[in-house]
Every structure is written in structure tokens, then in C-alpha cells.
């Protein structure tokens, strides 16, 4: 048995626990109450559905509606209406993309930046409470490994999907024959 197989066996053995943990993290972060709590701590009154869009526009902008919709798992027409609402509230600005004038991109406005700054302050209070009992080493390692995971996940999915596509036609035929 090669080292690679032992390593893969360890990954496969631990994968269910990792998946459960990720589902728990995503589930906690996607709870309606979490957004409401965060908005309350920040002293903001904003429709809950607009909150993640505002934060993503601040973090990733300028960003197009299609990309934004993909990141939040919503239809681009819905996100377009929600971004228009954020614009009407003075929290974001929309402009034509320099690369393609047919595409409109959202950017954070000064008023929107003030709002996300208050959210960041609330997030910091929560993080301090969450990580206060962690050692500096554990926290630094967690941040490093989570960053590595985040960077690697899309590459891994693309690689495996691409490999499956190149082999897929033969296996699709095999499944169809069963």
C-alpha cells in the first residue's frame, strides 16, 4: 500500500466529520436570526435579504449581478432588484463595467461603507467572544488552514469536474447500458 493510499484512506475516514462540521457552520451562518442579530448589534435597520448582498458588494466590488447572484445562490433577476433597492437606499452605486458596458457593476457607496464598518465592529465583538479561549497558535493555524481550504475548494472542484467530463462520456454510456 502506497503512502498516497494511506493518506486517501485517512481523508475518506475523516470526511463525514468534516462535512458535518461544514454543514453546521453554513447552517449557523445562513440562519435568519444570525443576520437579524448582526444587524441589531450593528444598529442597522435593513431588510435581511439585502444584508449579505451589501457585505459582498463591499468585500468584492465592483461586482456584477450575475456573479453576486451565484455567490448567494439566488436568481440574477431577484438580485438585480435587490441591488436596485440597495442603490435606492444610497448604500451602493451601480455603473457600467469598464470591460463590457452592457454589464452593470455594483460598488459600495460611502453610506454603505459606514454600514459595513458597523457590521464589522459587531462581527469583531462576536469573534472575540468565540475565540477568547483559543490559544494564539490554534487561532493562527485555524485562519491559515481555513484560508488554504477556501483557496483550494474551487480549484479542486474544477479539477475533479474536468477529469470527470473527460472520462464521463464513457462512464455515461456504461451507466446507460445497465
Cβ pair 104, 96 in contact under 8 A: yes
Task: Label residue 168 by pLDDT band (50, 70, 90).
Answer: low
Mean pLDDT of 91-119: 92
CB proximity list for 58: less than 8 A, separation 6 or greater: 108, 112, 113, 116
Query: If you average pLDDT over every residue of the chain, what do you get?
Result: 87
Residue 171 pLDDT greater than 70, yes or no:
no
pLDDT at 178: 44
Phi, psi of 134 (to 5 degrees): -85, 145
Residue 62: which pLDDT band, with cuts at 50, 70 and 90? very high
Widest Cα–Cα separation across the chain: 63
Q: List Cβ<8 Å contacts ≥24 apart for 121-129.
A: 121/42, 122/38, 122/41, 122/42, 123/38, 125/41, 126/38, 126/41
Digit-coded pLDDT (tens) for 113-129: 999 999 999 999 999 99
Mean pLDDT of 24-52: 86
- For residue 33 the three cell numbers come to 436570526
Angle among Cα 22, 24, 25 to the nearest 5 degrees reads 65
Q: Are 72 and 66 in contact (CB under 8 A)?
A: no
End-to-end Cα, the chain, rounded Å: 32
Burial class, 131, CB count within 10 angstroms (exposed 0-12 / middle 13-18 / buried 19+): middle
The residue among 133 and 174 whose pLDDT is bigger is 133
Amino acid at each position: 500500500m502506497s503512502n498516497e493510499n494511506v493518506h486517501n484512506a485517512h481523508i475518506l475516514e475523516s470526511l463525514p466529520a468534516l462535512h458535518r462540521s461544514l454543514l453546521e457552520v453554513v447552517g449557523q451562518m445562513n440562519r435568519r436570526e444570525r443576520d437579524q442579530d448582526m444587524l441589531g448589534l450593528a444598529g442597522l435597520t435593513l431588510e435581511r435579504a439585502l444584508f449579505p448582498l451589501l457585505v459582498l458588494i463591499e468585500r468584492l466590488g465592483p461586482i456584477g449581478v450575475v456573479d453576486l447572484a451565484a455567490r448567494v445562490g439566488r436568481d440574477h433577476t431577484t438580485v438585480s432588484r435587490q441591488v436596485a433597492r440597495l442603490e435606492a437606499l444610497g448604500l451602493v452605486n451601480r455603473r457600467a463595467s469598464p470591460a463590457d458596458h452592457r454589464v452593470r457593476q455594483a460598488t459600495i457607496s460611502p453610506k454603505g461603507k459606514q454600514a459595513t464598518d458597523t457590521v464589522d465592529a459587531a462581527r469583531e465583538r462576536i469573534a472575540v467572544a468565540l475565540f477568547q479561549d483559543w490559544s494564539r497558535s490554534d487561532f493562527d493555524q485555524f485562519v491559515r488552514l481555513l484560508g488554504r481550504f477556501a483557496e483550494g475548494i474551487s480549484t479542486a472542484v474544477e479539477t475533479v469536474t474536468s477529469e470527470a467530463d473527460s472520462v464521463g462520456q464513457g462512464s455515461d454510456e456504461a451507466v446507460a447500458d445497465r
